[in-house]
Copies of this chain bind each other. A is one copy, B any other.
Amino acid sequence: MGGDDAPLIVIEGAHLARKKYPQAKFIVFGDENEIKPLVKNYPGLEGVMEVRHTLDRITSEDKPSTALRSGRNSSMRLAINAVGVGEAHCVVSAGNTGALMAIAKFVLKVLPGITRPAIATHLPTKVAGHSAVMLDLGANVECDPKNLLEFGVLVGVFSREILKIAEPRIGILNIGSESVKGHEVVKAASELFSAAAHLPGKYIGFIEGDDIGAGTVDVVVTDGFTGNVSLKTMEGTAKMLASLVKQSFQSSWLMKLGALLCLPGLLVALPAVLALKKRLDPRSYNGASLVGLKGLCIKSHGGTDAVGFAHAIGVAADMALIRFNEKVEQELEKIGMGAVAAPEVMAEEAAL
């Protein structure tokens, strides 16, 4: 079991998730001597949580290839196996992302019609009540145009079914909105999107980095390199701004006095201040989906707490409840990409 504060946040997270998903049941993999005493602290959890003992684990330093080869009894591998054999609907892990993707791809296999699985997450925008979904966030450093089209289908379904956006607007991340801008991959991908009938959404063309926060689109399609840099830049900018505001309020006694004088105002406005805090809480966006696999797999941030982990469990539950992969398969059929399994995947399966 991975993550900075596992297993505590995992157990408490499961307890918190049950409030919204009372029907949820859990299988937890890890050291039972550590886990079982924790479970007892949460009333009712014992009855819905099975603990399977293993001392093996994948560390955050393990390379994906090492994890795949030598981690056969690790908690991560056993949890993914449980999804593979149908014992669980979805795996949620706060462990090593590269290892999780490698093992999930190996055990669960890629969905027919999808060449490469990807990592997707939803992000806040300035539009009230609106989130955009972006992928890939790092699983595929380089992508071809068809990969990007597949990504659009995968999170078009996510946006429509999980975020309840009737006709998701899909954009490809680029360095300008004109069709001549960018490299060959995005240009060719844009042609594929424009030519595709029956997309789970509406292709609106190229978007730029500032369109993500502006809420111009519901789905942001990009390769894993660009997506990861963009996501991390977003996190870094938010942290920088918060730090600058904090620094100025601590910069002088006049500023500290000013902050003190603001207190009554902030108290009066407390509900709205709390609503803003909640809206920007990174825990509300925790739980990235590994999409394009035959089983459901959610990656929680390694440094999150129980509230964040509960949110990741919520994403897993939502995807299981709407039968995400069945919906994706239907969309792939509609768009004419479902019937043919991708050659890469067939070769991989043949090699097993």
A264-279 contacts to B (CB < 8 Å):
264-273, 275-276, 279
Do B268 and A265 have beta carbons less than 8 Å apart? no
Set B228, B251, B272: member contacting A255, Cβ < 8 A: B272
Q: Is A128 an interface residue (CB 8 A)?
A: yes
Task: Report chain B residues within 8 Å CB of A269.
Answer: 248-249, 254-255, 257-259
Task: Report chain B residues within 8 Å CB of A238.
Answer: 237, 241
Task: Report chain B residues within 8 Å CB of A125.
Answer: 240
Q: Is A69 an interface residue (CB 8 A)?
A: no
Q: Is A308 an interface residue (CB 8 A)?
A: no
Do A272 and B244 have beta carbons less than 8 Å apart? no
Q: Is A208 an interface residue (CB 8 A)?
A: yes
Task: Report chain B residues within 8 Å CB of A197.
Answer: none
A240 to B279 CA separation, bound complex (whole angstroms) = 12
Copies of this chain present in the complex amount to 2
If over half of A's interface residues share one DSSP class (helix, strand or loop), that class is named, otherwise mixed; here it is helix
Do B241 and A229 have beta carbons less than 8 Å apart? no
Set B208, B244, B261, B265: member contacting A276, Cβ < 8 A: B244
Do B272 and A258 have beta carbons less than 8 Å apart? yes
Closest 9 CB pairs of A and B: A258-B269, A209-B232, A261-B265, A210-B236, A213-B240, A209-B233, A262-B265, A213-B236, A255-B272
Q: Is A247 an interface residue (CB 8 A)?
A: yes
How far, in Å, is A352 (CB) from chain B's closest CB? 25
Q: Is A226 an interface residue (CB 8 A)?
A: yes
Set B213, B214, B228, B280: member contacting A209, Cβ < 8 A: B228
Q: Is A166 an interface residue (CB 8 A)?
A: no
Q: Is A260 an interface residue (CB 8 A)?
A: yes
Task: Report chain B residues within 8 Å CB of A244.
Answer: 124, 126, 276, 279-280
Do B183 and A240 have beta carbons less than 8 Å apart? no
A-B contact pairs, 25 of them (CB 8 A): A124-B240, A126-B244, A141-B175, A174-B229, A209-B236, A210-B233, A210-B235, A214-B236, A214-B239, A222-B229, A226-B229, A229-B230, A237-B237, A237-B238, A248-B269, A248-B273, A249-B269, A252-B272, A254-B271, A258-B269, A258-B270, A259-B269, A261-B265, A261-B268, A262-B262
Task: Report chain B residues within 8 Å CB of A252.
Answer: 271-272
Task: Report chain B residues within 8 Å CB of A233.
Answer: 209-210, 212-213, 230, 233-234, 237
A235 and B209 contact, Cβ closer than 8 Å, known pairs A63-B180, A248-B273: yes
How far, in Å, is A36 (CB) from chain B's closest CB? 35
* Complex interface bits, A123-142 against B, C-beta within 8 A gives 1, otherwise 0: 01110100000000010011
Q: Is A224 an interface residue (CB 8 A)?
A: yes
Task: Report chain B residues within 8 Å CB of A280.
Answer: 241, 244
Task: Report chain B residues within 8 Å CB of A247.
Answer: 126, 128
How far, in Å, is A342 (CB) from chain B's closest CB? 21
